[in-house]
């Protein structure tokens, strides 16, 4: 499930997210902490503290999708480490970010 719309942007949260949060909690993080509109249709990607799982929030004009991927082994090692709260990444970098090489 990768974006196919050229106007779709991808935002990655640098810091970890409490994965007990559901859709409403993640929407609040997008609005309050990132100052971004979660209904924009853009992808918002979050990781857990241990870097073993990610959640992707998407709005498709009918409702929110919350996708969850948990690794069976390894961690997401290619996560951005900038000091910003959220970072926009190009689509080509998304695949490298969410597919783990188990190192």
pLDDT at 3: 54
Please say if the pLDDT value at position 2 is more than 80. no
Q: Average pLDDT in the 96-100 region?
A: 69
Q: What is the pLDDT at residue 58?
A: 94
Tell whether pTM > 0.75: yes
The C-alpha atoms of residue 103 and residue 100 are separated, in whole angstroms, by 8
Q: Which residues of 26-62 are buried (b: 16+ CB within 10 A; e: fewer)?
A: bbebbeeeeebebeeebbbbbbbeebbbbbbbbbeee
């Amino acid at each position: 499930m990768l974006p196919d719309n050229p106007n779709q942007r991808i935002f990655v949260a640098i810091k970890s997210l409490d994965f007990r949060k559901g859709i409403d909690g993640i929407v609040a993080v997008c609005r309050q902490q990132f100052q971004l509109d979660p209904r924009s249709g853009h992808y918002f990607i979050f990781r857990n503290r241990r870097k073993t799982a990610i959640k992707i929030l998407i709005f498709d004009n009918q409702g929110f999708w919350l996708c969850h991927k948990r690794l069976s082994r390894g961690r997401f090692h290619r996560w951005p480490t900038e000091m910003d709260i959220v970072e926009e990444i190009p689509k080509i970098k998304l695949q490298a970010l969410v597919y783990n090489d188990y190192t």
